[in-house]
Structure 1
């Protein structure tokens, strides 16, 4: 299945994507949140869709897409997890996964605008594969780790490099700004993806390809990441894990390239669709 959420930000309704057509599943009830995944919602939703085949109402293509999961308890991210990305930033290949967090308030829809934060001059892009947890995970072994995956999403781990690297603290400062986690267009269940460790992912800036990688370059694969993270914290149903970005980020160019108002980002991944984000200036006081 492919799960979507649509409508006004903060008031999204739930739906599914079938053969390229969006359908409303609001009659199922609830949202794609912790309770949904914890209560075996994926299997029950599949039964609901089958029972209502031919009866589901199509959603207009003009409707806004929200993030395909409701705000999770946490967004856990992995840094420097592609060998070529580590090389372009002159970083040592990690011996263990590097963990940081994005604030859940950064979560937005796949085609929502990216807002450059106040006083920012180094906002950057990072196309990534994200996974969603389907059940409580604590001290999980690598052998059983894939049983904890509800599905996969396209994610742009937007980053402010000055905040991240030059402001005397952890990476989190440059990762959790509002709009810095565009997610979607949909969540694809694992049966939709033939080989999660062989997916092309790419990103274009104003039509020019900047990132063109493959998950076969991951230093730490999905089972290792889930098992490793679960040794340090409990992952809850609906939690997001973003697995790192390939080479081609703005920081890696000489000189670096950073986002400015009016820029357009287009990104995509095999089996996980595409997204488009326009960059805007911060307009607050």
Structure 2
């Protein structure tokens, strides 16, 4: 089942796909642009993977790491479908990162790889923006690169794990102003989902609502103010987002 969360008429509603837009839990149908989209779930801890597609690592001239490159993201970074992400005026290279987001469904501690997928409740699309100008090095992605307010777009739907029969063969695509700019497949993950869960749960307990952003494939390009970015993953829908200026956020 696909389900999301939207704000409409002063309340937050569970919502479902409909041919005319979205259907609220109370039965009302509204167009996509008549509601404010929230992240499909309220994430707890957000884990982000860097350089988890080999071709993307080569694109950035980075050799394979000994273990997964993982960092954490704060809740203020989360934004919903059709939201606006600010591009700081002092940067020269800001790019999207289309990623498969994995949602943990129950407490997971010292989980073995063969049992790891039993702890996954579902999936979402993520677009996790990065400002390369602020990067110190790939071993220590600093806060200004990846923990920006509204820089992690999630949605539009949460899809139950049972509805994605083979998560190892999902196509990822990113379009900028309608032009295809990024294309990859989850079969090319350097560290796959079961291994990521095994690795993380080996030293900490994962909990319901924790989200693992599994990394982005090659094909990242700079985005500018006014650009519309659309990320697609097979079976999960289409996540739209627009790039805004400092002025749009009263930062001038």
Runs (4 or more) in structure 1 with deviation over 6 Å come to 18-21
Equivalent of residue 46 in structure 2, options 72, 75, 82: 75
**TM-superposition CA deviations, 1:122-147 (whole Å, max 9, x none):** 22111000011111122211121111
User: Which residue among 206, 212, 237 is the counterpart of 1:273?
Assistant: 237
Q: In the comparison of the two structures, how many residue pairs are matched?
A: 246
Deviation at 1:248, TM superposition (A): 0.5
Q: List runs of 5+ in structure 1 lacking aligned partners.
A: 26-55, 251-257
Offset of 1:204 from its aligned partner?
1.3
Name the residue aligned to 1:231.
Answer: 202
The answer (yes or no) to whether the contact 2:69–2:139 under 8 Å persists in 1 is no
Partner SS for 1:184 = strand
> 1:16, CA displacement in angstroms?
3.4
CA distance in 1, matches of 2:137, 2:106: 37
Structure 1 contact 117–177 (Cα < 8 Å) conserved = no
Give the number of the structure whose residues are more often strand, by fraction: 2
Q: State how far apart, in whole Å, the 1-side matches of 2:7 and 2:225 are.
A: 25
Distance 2:217 2:203 in 1: 25
CA distance in 1, matches of 2:53, 2:120: 21
TM-score, structure 1 as length reference: 0.80
Tell me if the contact between 1:2 and 1:18 (Cα under 8 Å) persists in the aligned partners.
no
Q: CA deviation at 1:203?
A: 0.5
- Alignment of 1:23 onto 2:23: yes
1:236-275 to 2 correspondence within 5 Å? 236-250=207-221, 258-275=222-239
Q: 1:57 aligns to what?
A: 27
Partner SS state of residue 229, structure 1: helix
User: SS at 1:183's partner residue?
Assistant: strand
Aligned twin of 2:14:
14
Structure 2 CA distance for aligned equivalents of residues 7 and 83 of structure 1: 39
Q: Tell me, in whole angstroms, the C-alpha distance in 1 between the residues paired with 2:67 and 2:4.
A: 34
Report the counterpart of residue 45 of structure 1 in structure 2.
none
Q: CA deviation at 1:198?
A: 0.2
Match of 1:128 in 2: 99
Superposition pairs for residues 104-115 of structure 1, below 5 Å?
104-115=75-86
Unaligned runs of 5+ in 2: none
Asked if the contact 2:124/2:156 (under 8 Å) is kept, the reply is: yes
1:93 corresponds to 2:93 = no
**1:113 partner SS:** strand
- TM-score between both structures, scaled by the size of structure 2: 0.89
Residue 117 to residue 102, structure 1, CA distance change in 2 (3 Å): farther
Aligned match of 2:159 in 188, 195, 198? 188
